[in-house]
Structure 1
Amino acid sequence: MNTVVHKAETRGNANHGWLNSHHTFSFANYHNPERMNFGVLRVLNDDRVQAGMGFGTHPHDNMEIISIPLEGDLEHKDSMGNVTVIKEGDVQIMSAGTGITHSEYNKNKDKEVKFLQIWVFPKDKNVTPRYDQISIRDIEKTNEFYQILSPNKDDQGVWIHQDAWFHIGKFNAGKSDEYKLQKPGNGIYAFILEGEVEIQGESLSKRDGIGVWNTDSISVTATGFARVLLMEVPMSF
């Protein structure tokens, strides 16, 4: 088993006033050759956008882009004609494929929006661009992990052009759960959304991350109330 720990305070940071973004992996002006990616997980940005502000229209291609709002409402527009609002309890997926443009703005005029922006390298290039979003409120569970993303169109959650599975868990203090990897050779990256947990002997707090590979399972124990995002991804591409 191999592990890598990224404490919250070691992340890159870009504060543009309207946007305060923390980067687990190299992004934009933050470049750390030791933190380029975790397998096909390329970007994990923890973004806070001020009221009424946002990202203007910009292009992407050949990337799977996942947004998970943590607080507030985010308005999305894209070149496929989608105009939607995603909010806490939703998950958004965008397959950029052959190329798209989009914008994301804080829909709220009186408070900031907080969301995770996650990029995953796709298994196949130049796919037809695609957009989807779902509410995960009806599938949310307590004290165990539940799936929010997979490679399979008919599975629970959104689907992705990659052999990746995402789960979220909300745990009361003292509760634990074991996660068994779906595919041999994959690794798992855990990101602590709230609270404190212990994973593979490591004590982790809010916005800490840990990557684990060369294993077929990991165990997560909450030492206080906690929410954890697990991202299982291929380690090679």
Structure 2
Amino acid sequence: MKTILHKAATRGHANHGWLNSYHTFSFAGYHDPERMHFGALRVLNDDTVAKGMGFGKHPHDNMEIVSIPLSGDLHHNDSTGRDKIIRQGDVQIMSAGSGIAHSEMNANSDRDVKFLQVWVFPKEKNIAPRYEQKSFAHEDRKNSIATVVAPDDDSAVWINQDAWFSLADLSAGNEIGYTLHKNGNGIYVFVLEGDVTVNGQALNKRDGLGITGADTISIKADSEAQLLFIDVPMTIGG
């Protein structure tokens, strides 16, 4: 088993006024050759967008782009004609495929929106652009692991990759295990809130831990905690 630890304070950071963004992996003006990706996981951005502001329409291709609002509402519009509001509790995926342009704006005029934007390299290139969004009940992940993105689960949003995203909200002292979905995949654990110990490694808010060479991992909540699990192939392309 191998691990790679990314402490919250070591992330790249860009504050544009309207956008305050932390980058776990190299992105835009932040470049670290040691932090380009974790297997098929390419981008993990922790974004805060000021009220009424956002990303104007811009293009993507051949990337799986997952958005997870943490607070506030996000307004998505894209070149296929989709016009959606993504709220806390929702998970959205956009398979950029052969090419798509989209905008993401803060839908609120009175508060910031905080969300994660996660990019995963696709399994198949140049598929028809695809969009999906679902809501997930908070109680389904209370002291449990709830899958929200998957290639093989109709209750989750579909991804063009052998990748699974899961969320968990843990009470202090609770211990759970995570079993990887596919042989050869790695798991990236990102702490949204609180303090946890994963396979003996203490983690705090916004820390990330990548683990390879393990079939299962153990998690203990040292406080009330919220976690995101990203289970991805370690070979890009599937």
Per the shorter chain, which TM-score range?
Answer: over 0.9
Aligned length: 236
Whole-Å separation in 2 of the counterparts to 1:165 and 1:133: 15
Letter in 2 for 1:58: H
Which residue of structure 1 aligns with residue 203 of structure 2?
A: 204
Query: How far does the alpha carbon of each residue in 1:88-109 deviate from its partner, in whole angstroms, 9 at most, with x for none?
Result: 1000000000000000000111
- Partner residue in 2 for 1:114: 114
The 8 Å contact of residues 67 and 93 in structure 2, kept in 1 or not, is answered as: yes
Secondary structure at the aligned position of 1:57 is classed as strand
Q: Deviations over 1:143-170 (max 9, x none)?
A: 1111111112x43210100000111100
1:41-190 equivalences in 2 (<5 Å): 41-137=41-137, 140-152=140-152, 154-190=153-189
Aligned residue in 2 for 1:194: 193
Higher deviation after alignment, 11-20 or 131-140: 131-140
The match for 1:10 is 10
Partner residue, 1:27 = 27
Superposed CA offset, 1:144-203 (max 9, x none): 111111112x43210100000111100000001100111000000000001010001111
2:175, 2:114 → 1: CA distance?
27
Alignment partners' CA distance in 2, 1:65 and 1:23:
15
Q: 1:13–1:21: 8 Å Cα contact kept in structure 2?
A: yes
Show structure 1 runs of 4+ deviating over 4 A.
none
Q: Deviations over 1:94-141 (max 9, x none)?
A: 000000000000011111000000000000000000001000127723
One-letter identity of the residue aligned with 2:220? T
- Partner AA of 1:51 in structure 2: K
The 8 Å contact of residues 139 and 146 in structure 1, kept in 2 or not, is answered as no
Question: Aligned equivalents of 2:30 and 2:141: distance in 1?
Answer: 36
Query: Does the 8 Å contact 1:195/1:226 carry over to 2?
Result: yes
Paired AA for residue 183 in structure 1? K
3-state SS of 1:140 partner: helix
Q: What CA deviation, in whole Å up to 9, does each residue of 1:36-55 have, x standing for no partner? A: 00000000000000000000
**In structure 1, what residue type is equivalent to 2:111?**
K
Indicate how the Cα distance of structure 1 residues 138 and 70 shifts in structure 2: closer, same or farther if over 3 A, else same. Answer: closer
Question: Following the alignment from structure 1 to structure 2, what is the Cα–Cα distance between the partners of residues 214 and 174?
Answer: 26
Which has the higher mean CA deviation after the structures are superposed, 129-138 or 72-81?
129-138
For residue 95 of structure 2, what is the amino acid of its counterpart? S
Deviations 1:55-92 (A, max 9, x none): 00000000000000000000000001100000110000
TM-score (norm 1): 0.98
Corresponding letter in the other structure for 1:71: S
Match of 2:9, SS? helix
Q: Per the alignment, in what secondary structure is the counterpart of residue 126 of structure 1?
A: coil
Contact kept, 8 Å, 2:89 with 2:138, in 1: the verdict is no
Mark the runs of 5 or more structure 1 residues left unpaired by the alignment: none
TM-score by length of 2: 0.98
Amino acid at match of 2:23: H
Specify the code of the residue in structure 1 equivalent to 2:104: E
Instruction: State the Cα RMSD in Å.
Output: 0.9
